Structure 1
Amino acid sequence: MDLLVVGIIVLILYAAVRLISAIGSGLSGARYRAYRALASRYRGRYEHRGLVDPPTVSFGHHGSSVRVGLAPVVAGQPSVPRTRVVARFGTGLPFRLELFPVQRPSPKQTPRGTRLVRLGDPVFDRQYVVRANDPEIARELIDTQAARSAIEGLRKLAPPAGMLVSVSPERLLVQIDRNLGQSVASLDAAVREALALHDLLRLSVAARMAEGISIVDEPASDPLEAGPATCKVCNEAIGPDEDRVLCASCRTPHHRDCWSFVGACSIYGCQGKRCVPS
C-alpha cells in the first residue's frame, strides 16, 4: 500500500513538472517570437538559455558577424533595456564614429582621435551629435539619402535620447534603449536599418581607402614637407618617440597598439596580417 502511494505521488510530481515545463516553453516561445522570426529571416542561430536570460540571434552578413540581443545589465547602472545590433567586421576598418541625439549625455571618454563633425545641414546638426576620426568619410556617409533614412528609422524606434550608432575599427554597434524584442516588426526594422548603415559604411570606407592607397604609395618630394607619418587606424600622427610598426606587405606605418587592436593592416585591399618593427 505504501509503495502504491509513493508511486502515485511520483507520477503526480512528474506530471506537474512536465506541465510546468510545457507552459514555460509556450510562454518563452510567445515572449521571444521576434527573435525566432529574426533567426528564420536571416537564417541565423537562435540561442536561449533558461527562462530568464533573453535570447540572442547570430548570423553572417557581407563578411561580418552580426549578433542581436539585449545588452547585459551592469551592476550599479540603471536597468533600462537596451537592444543591440553588433556587426563585427571580417576585416578591420580604420574609421571611428559616434552618432547620437543631442539630448543623449556625451560619453565620459570620446573615441580616440575623433572630433566634432558638422554636416552643414542646420536641421540635422541641431538634432544629432557626430564625432569621427575622418570628417570627410563621416560627411560622405551621412549625407546620403539611404543613411539619413536609416538613421531616421532608428530614431523612430527609440525613446528621446535613446539611440546610439558607434563605429570602431572592429565593429559597428547600433543601440536602441528599448526592448524591441517585444515586437517582431520593431526588431526586424532595427536590424534592417543597422545592416543598411553597415553596408553604406563599408562602401564609404572602401572608396576612401582606395584613394588612400595611391596617396600612401606616392613618395613625398621633400621628407621635411611630408611631416610625421599618420596612423591610418586612429588618424593621428606617429611621433618619433612612439612605438610603431610597419605592415610587412605594404609598409604602411601604424601605432603598435593600433595594429594590435585591429589585428591586421588598416589599408583597404592590403589584407596584411604581419607587421615588422619600424
Structure 2
Amino acid sequence: MELFVLVVIVLIVYGVIRFLAVVGAWSTGARYRAFRQLAARFGGRYESRGLSDPPTVSFPHGENSVRVGLAPTVPGQASIPRTRVVVRFHRGIPFRLELAPVARPSPTQPPKGTRRVRVGDLEFDAGFVVQANDEEMARDFLNPAVRWSIDALQRLVHPGGLLVSISPERLLVQIDRNLSNNRDALFMAVSETLLIQDGLLQGVRRRITEGVTIVAGEPDPDAGPPSCKVCGETIDNGPVIVCSTCNTPHHRECWEFAGACSIYGCGSKSGRPKHAS
C-alpha cells in the first residue's frame, strides 16, 4: 500500500512538472514570438535560455555573425528594456565610432581616442552626437544611405533611445525598447542594422583599396612634432611605438589600445619602440 501511494505521488509530481514546463514553453514562445519569426526569416538559430532569461537569435551575414536579443538587466539600475543587434566582424577593422541622439545622456568620458565629428548635414549634426577616431572615415561611412538607416532606427524609439557603437571587433545597435513582441519593428531594426554594417565595411574596403604610400628617409626636422593618428594629440614626450611597415608613430598606450597601426591600408601589428623627441 505504501509503495502504491509513493508511486502515485511521484506520478503527480512528474505530471505537475511536465505541465509547468509546457506552460512555461508556451508563455515564453508567446512573449518572444517575434524572435522565433526573426530566426525563421534569416535562417538563424533561436536559443531559449530558460524562463527568466530572454532568448537570442543568431545567424550569419556574409563573413560576419549577427546576434539579436534583449540586453541583460544590471542589478541596481533601472530596468529599461533594450533590444540589441550585435554584428561581430570576421576580420577586425581599425575604426571606432559612437553615435547617439543629442537627447541621450552623454557618457562621462568619450571613447578613448575619439573626437567629435560633424558630417556637414545640418539636420543630422543637430540631431546626433558622433565621436570617432578617424574623421574622414566617419564622414565617408555616414553617407546619405547610412544616415537614412539611422533616422529609421531613431523612429522606432523615443528621443535619446538609440545607440550605435563601432569597435574593431563589432557593430552594436541598441534600441531602448522591447521589440520581442513586435515583429515588424524587430525586422526593421535588424534590416537597417545590416544596411549600416554593409555601408561600414564597404567604406573600410574602399579606404584600404586606396592604400598608403610608404615614404623612405627621415622626417622633415622643420615639420614640427608628429601627431598620433589614434588620439590626435601631439607626440612630443613619453614612449612611442613606430609601425614597422609604414613608419607611422603612435603613443604606446594608443598603439596597445588599437592593437595595430591606425593607418588604413596598413593595419600592421608589428611595431618598434622609439623615444619621442
Alignment-derived partner of residue 117 in structure 1: 117
Q: What is the TM-score with the length of structure 2 in the denominator?
A: 0.85
CA distance in 2, matches of 1:192, 1:180: 14
CA displacement at 1:250 relative to structure 2: 4.8
User: Please, which of 226, 229, 235 is the counterpart of residue 239 of structure 1?
Assistant: 235
Alignment-derived partner of residue 179 in structure 2: 180
CA distance in 1, matches of 2:149, 2:180: 19
Alignment-derived partner of residue 146 in structure 2: 147
Alignment-derived partner of residue 215 in structure 2: 218
CA displacement at 1:197 relative to structure 2: 0.9
CA displacement at 1:219 relative to structure 2: 4.6
Alignment-derived partner of residue 135 in structure 1: 135
Aligned-pair identity in percent equals: 53
Alignment-derived partner of residue 205 in structure 1: 204
Alignment-derived partner of residue 79 in structure 2: 79
Question: Are the structure 2 counterparts of residues 265 and 42 from structure 1 closer, same or farther at C-alpha, using a change threshold of 3 Å?
Answer: farther
Would you say 1:16 and 2:16 are equivalent positions? yes
Show structure 1 runs of 5+ residues with no match: none
Question: Are the structure 2 counterparts of residues 265 and 121 from structure 1 closer, same or farther at C-alpha, using a change threshold of 3 Å?
Answer: closer
Q: Any conservation in 2 of the 1:93–1:266 contact (CA below 8 Å)?
A: no
Would you say 1:29 and 2:29 are equivalent positions? yes
**Cα deviation code 1:56-106 (max 9, x no counterpart):** 223333333332212222222211011111223333323222222121111
CA distance in 2, matches of 1:95, 1:192: 22
Query: What letter is aligned with 1:24?
Result: G
Show structure 2 runs of 5+ residues with no match: none
Alignment-derived partner of residue 56 in structure 1: 56
Query: What letter is aligned with 1:223?
Result: D
Q: Any conservation in 2 of the 1:64–1:89 contact (CA below 8 Å)?
A: yes
Number of residue pairs matched by the alignment: 274
CA displacement at 1:20 relative to structure 2: 1.2
Q: What is the TM-score with the length of structure 1 in the denominator?
A: 0.85
The answer to which of 217-226 and 201-210 deviates more is 217-226
Q: Any conservation in 2 of the 1:209–1:267 contact (CA below 8 Å)?
A: no
Q: Which has the higher helix share?
A: 1
Question: Are the structure 2 counterparts of residues 160 and 53 from structure 1 closer, same or farther at C-alpha, using a change threshold of 3 Å?
Answer: same
Question: Are the structure 2 counterparts of residues 61 and 276 from structure 1 closer, same or farther at C-alpha, using a change threshold of 3 Å?
Answer: farther
